[in-house]
Structure 1
Amino acid sequence: MFESIRKHSKFVMILLFLLIIPSFIFVGVNQNYFTESSATVAQVDGHDIKQSDWDNAHRAESDRLRAENPGIDAKLLDSPQARYATLEKMVRDQVLAAAVQKLHLSASDAQLVRTLQEIPAIAALKKPDGTLDAQAYRALVGAQGLTPEGFEANLRRDLSMSQVLGGVTGTAFATDAQVRQAVDALYQRREIQVARFDASAYAAKVQPSEADLKTYYDAHTSQFQQPEQASVEYVLLDLASVQAGIALNEEDVRTYYKENAQRLAGPEERRASHILINAAKDAPAADQEKAKAKAEQLLAELRSNPKRFAELAKANSQDGGSAASGGDLGFFGRGAMVKPFEDAVFGMKVGDISDVVHSDFGYHIITLTDIKAPKAPSFEQMRPKLEAELRQQQAQRKFAEMAEAFSNAVYEQSDSLQPVAEKFKLTVRKAEHVTRVPQAGATGPLASQRFLEALFSSDSLNSKRNTDAVELAPNQLAAGRVVEYAAARTLPMQEVSDRLRASYVAQKSAELAKADGEAKLNAWKEKPDTAQLPAAKIVGRTQPEGLPRDVVDAALRAPVAQLPSWTGVDLGAQGYAVLKVSRIVERPADDAQALAQQKQEFTQWSSMAETVAYYELLKKQLKVQIKVARP
């Protein structure tokens, strides 16, 4: 049989080709033929979200956030919480897309056009006749890697998806009775009396033995942990250190003064007058033409008799602020006027009359009446500022040249920072008790999480080699090395004797205060007349009267079906409190404005709650499963 196949191998290959290829056409090529299938991390309506999909989506989301926030810490973007947020967003998008299909929702052409017109970048592309500049529109969406058709398809899809939850969000409402009930409960006040049993008052009663302290120490060793620490050395290359090594050449300073004298003197100002014929940018074309014709008529009169400018401005200018003074606008610098007007004024000579200039306000005729160019200060007056600017510029350039050399040096001579310090004229700084996270009050490199991570990396700790150069901020590099390292350890009982005793006394004092408070609470409930309570206070959430939040919350939670009402509050290390609630105090009536604001806020929160509840219902209906644990 095999001999027959060998003889007719060409025929067999053709036959196999004809049998196998159609199977790929009708069944499809399974990715598993070529790559191992990716794990499923979530399911929505029977559709899988794969690990690879999640990785790609998070990479794209991180790139977007980095582009919008260049200074963001990259570790924040790759944290478990950030990755999980990306997965939740993918699930939400698929839930909304599935709901769009099942509910047969779609965005109309009118909705699409209206939304496009509301996008400022697109609205700015309108021509004077009101039509859209198609070429500019194509270039705008092309910058996002899309065609106009693709951009509009995405927008239409987003509009359809927004209808899923928008139907709930946009229809939420609250009645006055609902708002009143909720707000009254929130701002209700109560008259209470509070007896405090402070833990500190019981400290003298606690006299621990050595055995007590040993038992407490053994049960609470986590309280006496010393975190890992290191003694380190580091060098910092920044603009300040580069500037310190720059010696300025006198000739360079004088040349810099000559090149920048006008800038240092301050901006030039110009004085102009104008005649304005109003024409709003969204006015009909006919009105625009009429205003332009009027301006051109006035310009023709001025060309024949320029001395009539003030006269014609008073009679015809529609700028109410300057017409009465013959169109005079006073002195102004660049940036004070709209661009077409400014460009015209700063391109004229004194006495010139411009052509008709069109701006968003209408049509202008301008005459330049004066130029004020401030006198440049002397070289000696400006020397400190000139030297500072020049030193800064040279430091910027030199830093860029030194950065690579610095990075190479700390790597190539990795057993010491001294050669680097000598080469770049830096100071080797030392620090003790450095921890893996920035300590309170830390400055410079020791306040940088990125630098500390480099110091406490396994390579740095094990080999005691220099870290790579770490960029702390723009124009700021640091490198360090660990000189001595102490791993995290539980401190011996003898080293923490004072802290151990204080912790034990604090715990036992709080326990005694609580026991005494609970005993008094039970006794006063039985015999209210024996209660020893201070004067009553009226408290509420916005009126705590100096009481701890736990006490105020307990007072407002206490049952009021039968008054007075008694309750106790465990204040933890602070002790215990016994409360007597005597009566409910109605809150003062709010004015109409406050009531309206309260109703608006309540409606917003109610709308949010309903929207979240509806989204959770959709997830249940679509059998959403997220197979990754929430961090």
Structure 2
Amino acid sequence: MFESIRKHSKFIMILLFLLIIPSFIFVGVDQSYFTESSQTVARVDGHEISQQDWDNAHRAESDRLRAQNPTMDAKLLDTPEARYNTLEKLVRDRVLAAAANKMHLTTSDAQLVRTLREIPAIATLQKPDGSLDAEAYKALVGSQGMTPEGFEANLRRELALAQVLGTASSSSFATGVQLQQAMNALYQRREIQVARFDAAAFAAKVQPTEAELKAFYEAHTAQFKQAEAATVEYLQLDLAAVQQSIVLSEDDLRTYYKENAARLAGTEERRASHILINASKDMPAAERAKSKAKAEELLAQVRKDPKSFAQVAKANSQDPGSAANGGDLGYFGRDAMVKPFEEAVFKMKEGDISDVIESDFGFHIIELTAVKQPKVPSFEEMRPKLEADLKQQQAQRKFAEAAEAFTNGVYEQSESLKPVAEKFKLTIHKAENVTREPVQGAQGPLASKRFLEALFSADSLENKRNTDAVELAPNTLVAGRVLSYSPAHTQSMEEVGDKLKQLYVAHQSAEMAKQDAKEKMSEWKAKPETAKLAAPVEVGRDQAMDLPREVLDAALRAPTNALPAWEGVDLGNAGYAVIKINRVAERPAQDAQVIEQQKSQFTQWASMAEVMAYYEQLKKDFKVQIKVPRP
């Protein structure tokens, strides 16, 4: 439902596009098993954001995303990048709230009502007279853990925050001259020729002496620094682990089958035909009355001769999708049709013809032609699903108890993880070269900054005791211990070994390639006819021709006031490249539709730039400090 709000509110769409819409007020946050740190991670307008605020916000954000996408891998939500993104959202929320307060921005009742009516989930709750079904509305927002009053207060707040940046976005525009200059620069193409001087071609010429290697080592000691690292072991308790320990009795399974067989079998489907006489809500009352009278006439006709329903539908129904088929709508389940239509169909018996039913589309006459009751599978057919469902339910109930025993176990038997692993039948995982910060591509517990902080705490490193249990995600705990630890140090030449020679050869090869390329470019500038270059190619930002990015950028940045122009490009350890720019190619003429699309895109970019610049200024105005480094 909240996603519908973001999608259909004009102001909120602006902020969502810019990725600076803050999350809704967080509700239903579970209490942690552990004491959270009160460390300050950010400050906005003199108000602190604590580590606990951040953790609670990230937990709520993760719960929201999992609710939207149940198949999402929970590990993706606990990466350093994901957690930092939550902190940025939290900061944005505070900045916009401070700005809205300073500017005295509020949301009027009329604006709130307009926004509510734009939300499809709420729009469907309107009665024929235009009033809102209060009970259905209460149930809808209640499914989000909120009251109507709380929901509306949050929506008022979101709309007020949207006004902070809405003016900057809505005032953006682009002139034709700006568009032409930007698009010409973006899509310009140039004819170039390239000569590559690969470092690998010079590697055989590099024969380092011991003295040269030593000098290189001493000049580049930063390349040989070894970060602190540890060999660790850990074990994880989650719902899957608790499920493995659950043994179900045959009686439990059969009882669960009897109680849930109908639900597990699937939902009932019904097949119906209808005759529709169109009558939109905004149609004058007199016209609606005529449409209803027409429907009443057709109802009398089909009730007099029920077998003529399909023929009457073909001749009179104004539903283009079903009229040709005699009004047949096929099979459908609940929630597939508008509410008045659905309520009528699921109250009818097979063969019944309804009264005239009014909906947002007009007036319907419905014939129920078939009812498809799902076949209830046998107990043996359902056994695998029954076991999985029942184990999951029991695991949910037992997890709190298991979590407490797990937490106490790793603390009380702090010299080893083995007793707890044996008690819960958990696998002890081992990992080497674990660092204080999550490494690129790390997964599971080793991607969790909180768990790594616990592993690299003073007590863990010095005494090799188990860490406290750390909550990775809802219903997921992990504990670990350090087996061995190596502090940060600079490797000696002996430790570096062959790596030193490889680095030296790569460095010297690149230098030789660079020197040779520069000499050749000087010669070719003086005598262009001697240049040994590849065949000419036409390149642009949308046509890279498989060239390295550095080469493409240099070719398109080079001044073209005097052609041909020459550019040298350092490719690092890969070598060097020489570019000759022969000419600037004319940009092909664009049709009006493409130009309009480009103008729209450019205006969008300009709007984004203005809004982000304004937001950055707000951060300065409200003295934003983020004390946590970006991953």
Check the 8 A contact 2:199/2:506 in 1, yes or no: yes
Alignment-derived partner of residue 499 in structure 1: 499
Question: Whole-Å Cα distance in 1 between the matches of residues 324 and 348 of structure 2?
Answer: 24
Q: 1:446 to 1:404 in 2, by over 3 A?
A: same
**Residues 107-139 of structure 1, C-alpha deviations (whole Å, 9 max, x = no match):** 999989877765668866766445789999999
In the alignment, which of 46, 49, 67 is matched to residue 51 of structure 1? 46
In the alignment, which of 158, 163, 168 is matched to residue 165 of structure 1? 168
- Look up the SS of the partner of 1:477 in the other structure: strand
**Structural mapping, 1:182-197, within 5 Å:** 182-197=182-197
- Look up the SS of the partner of 1:382 in the other structure: helix
TM-score w.r.t. structure 2 length? 0.75
Check the 8 A contact 1:174/1:603 in 2, yes or no: no
Question: Whole-Å Cα distance in 2 between the matches of residues 246 and 378 of structure 1?
Answer: 24
Alignment-derived partner of residue 244 in structure 1: 244
Query: Radius of gyration: which is bigger?
Result: 1
Question: Whole-Å Cα distance in 2 between the matches of residues 614 and 152 of structure 1?
Answer: 22
- Look up the SS of the partner of 2:195 in the other structure: strand
Q: How far has the Cα of 1:501 moved from its partner?
A: 1.1
Q: 1:363 to 1:68 in 2, by over 3 A?
A: farther
Q: 1:166 to 1:112 in 2, by over 3 A?
A: farther
Correspondence 1:425 to 2:428: no
Q: How far has the Cα of 1:500 moved from its partner?
A: 1.0
Correspondence 1:566 to 2:566: yes
Check the 8 A contact 1:235/1:427 in 2, yes or no: yes
Question: Whole-Å Cα distance in 2 between the matches of residues 81 and 154 of structure 1?
Answer: 17
**Structural mapping, 1:384-423, within 5 Å:** 384-423=384-423
Q: 1:487 to 1:109 in 2, by over 3 A?
A: closer
Alignment-derived partner of residue 469 in structure 2: 469
Q: Aligned partner of 1:446: which letter?
A: L
Q: Aligned partner of 2:605: which letter?
A: W
Question: Whole-Å Cα distance in 2 between the matches of residues 167 and 593 of structure 1?
Answer: 23
Structure 1 stretch displaced more, 496-505 or 589-598: 589-598
Q: How far has the Cα of 1:297 moved from its partner?
A: 6.3
- Look up the SS of the partner of 1:535 in the other structure: coil
Check the 8 A contact 2:271/2:330 in 1, yes or no: yes
Check the 8 A contact 1:138/1:147 in 2, yes or no: no
Q: Aligned partner of 2:237: which letter?
A: L
Question: Whole-Å Cα distance in 1 between the matches of residues 156 and 256 of structure 2?
Answer: 53
Question: Whole-Å Cα distance in 2 between the matches of residues 248 and 576 of structure 1?
Answer: 69
Question: Whole-Å Cα distance in 2 between the matches of residues 77 and 513 of structure 1?
Answer: 42
Structure 1 stretch displaced more, 135-144 or 122-131: 135-144
- Look up the SS of the partner of 2:497 in the other structure: helix
Question: Whole-Å Cα distance in 1 between the matches of residues 55 and 455 of structure 2?
Answer: 26
Q: 1:504 to 1:85 in 2, by over 3 A?
A: farther
Question: Whole-Å Cα distance in 2 between the matches of residues 250 and 137 of structure 1?
Answer: 43
Q: 1:347 to 1:510 in 2, by over 3 A?
A: same
Q: 1:281 to 1:349 in 2, by over 3 A?
A: same
Q: Aligned partner of 2:414: which letter?
A: S
Structure 1 stretch displaced more, 417-426 or 106-115: 106-115
Q: Aligned partner of 1:51: which letter?
A: G
Check the 8 A contact 1:193/1:580 in 2, yes or no: yes
Q: How far has the Cα of 1:90 moved from its partner?
A: 6.3
Correspondence 1:451 to 2:454: no
Correspondence 1:174 to 2:175: yes
Structure 1 stretch displaced more, 72-81 or 262-271: 72-81
Q: Aligned partner of 1:390: which letter?
A: L
Q: How far has the Cα of 1:200 moved from its partner?
A: 1.8
Check the 8 A contact 1:314/1:323 in 2, yes or no: yes
Correspondence 1:481 to 2:481: yes
Check the 8 A contact 2:165/2:615 in 1, yes or no: no
Alignment-derived partner of residue 550 in structure 1: 550
Alignment-derived partner of residue 235 in structure 2: 235
- Look up the SS of the partner of 1:436 in the other structure: coil
Question: Whole-Å Cα distance in 2 between the matches of residues 450 and 93 of structure 1?
Answer: 34
Q: How far has the Cα of 1:64 moved from its partner?
A: 6.8
Alignment-derived partner of residue 586 in structure 2: 586
Alignment-derived partner of residue 460 in structure 1: 460
Q: How far has the Cα of 1:455 moved from its partner?
A: 1.8
Check the 8 A contact 2:58/2:86 in 1, yes or no: no
**Residues 54-112 of structure 1, C-alpha deviations (whole Å, 9 max, x = no match):** 549x99898777645436559735998667656764676578x39x9xxxxx9999989
- Look up the SS of the partner of 1:197 in the other structure: strand
Where structure 1 has 5 or more consecutive residues not aligned to the other structure, the ranges are: 1-40, 43-48, 101-105
- Look up the SS of the partner of 1:431 in the other structure: strand
Q: How far has the Cα of 1:504 moved from its partner?
A: 1.4
**Structural mapping, 1:359-370, within 5 Å:** 359-370=359-370
Q: How far has the Cα of 1:199 moved from its partner?
A: 1.7
Question: Whole-Å Cα distance in 2 between the matches of residues 68 and 382 of structure 1?
Answer: 35
Structure 1 stretch displaced more, 189-198 or 318-327: 318-327
Question: Whole-Å Cα distance in 2 between the matches of residues 390 and 138 of structure 1?
Answer: 31
Where structure 2 has 5 or more consecutive residues not aligned to the other structure, the ranges are: 1-41, 66-76
State how many pairs are aligned. Answer: 568
Q: Aligned partner of 1:591: which letter?
A: D
Q: 1:611 to 1:409 in 2, by over 3 A?
A: closer
- Look up the SS of the partner of 2:426 in the other structure: coil
Question: Whole-Å Cα distance in 1 between the matches of residues 532 and 319 of structure 2?
Answer: 79
Check the 8 A contact 1:168/1:610 in 2, yes or no: no
Question: Whole-Å Cα distance in 1 between the matches of residues 120 and 498 of structure 2?
Answer: 66
Q: 1:162 to 1:183 in 2, by over 3 A?
A: closer
- Look up the SS of the partner of 2:568 in the other structure: strand
Check the 8 A contact 2:78/2:472 in 1, yes or no: no
Q: How far has the Cα of 1:498 moved from its partner?
A: 0.7
Question: Whole-Å Cα distance in 1 between the matches of residues 438 and 461 of structure 2?
Answer: 18
Check the 8 A contact 2:169/2:608 in 1, yes or no: no
Check the 8 A contact 2:46/2:623 in 1, yes or no: no
Q: 1:262 to 1:142 in 2, by over 3 A?
A: closer
Q: How far has the Cα of 1:363 moved from its partner?
A: 3.2
Question: Whole-Å Cα distance in 2 between the matches of residues 250 and 308 of structure 1?
Answer: 55
Q: 1:364 to 1:179 in 2, by over 3 A?
A: closer
Alignment-derived partner of residue 350 in structure 2: 350
Question: Whole-Å Cα distance in 2 between the matches of residues 377 and 117 of structure 1?
Answer: 43
Q: 1:166 to 1:466 in 2, by over 3 A?
A: closer
**Residues 147-186 of structure 1, C-alpha deviations (whole Å, 9 max, x = no match):** 99x9879968965x568536742xx2322x5433432232
- Look up the SS of the partner of 1:233 in the other structure: strand
Question: Whole-Å Cα distance in 1 between the matches of residues 265 and 151 of structure 2?
Answer: 48
Q: How far has the Cα of 1:494 moved from its partner?
A: 0.3
Q: 1:351 to 1:124 in 2, by over 3 A?
A: closer
Question: Whole-Å Cα distance in 1 between the matches of residues 257 and 87 of structure 2?
Answer: 55
Check the 8 A contact 2:356/2:365 in 1, yes or no: yes
- Look up the SS of the partner of 1:508 in the other structure: helix
TM-score w.r.t. structure 1 length? 0.75
Check the 8 A contact 1:61/1:86 in 2, yes or no: no
Q: Give the alignment's Cα RMSD to 1 decimal.
A: 4.5
Q: 1:294 to 1:599 in 2, by over 3 A?
A: closer
Q: 1:192 to 1:92 in 2, by over 3 A?
A: farther
Correspondence 1:216 to 2:219: no
Q: 1:290 to 1:228 in 2, by over 3 A?
A: same
Q: Aligned partner of 1:552: which letter?
A: L
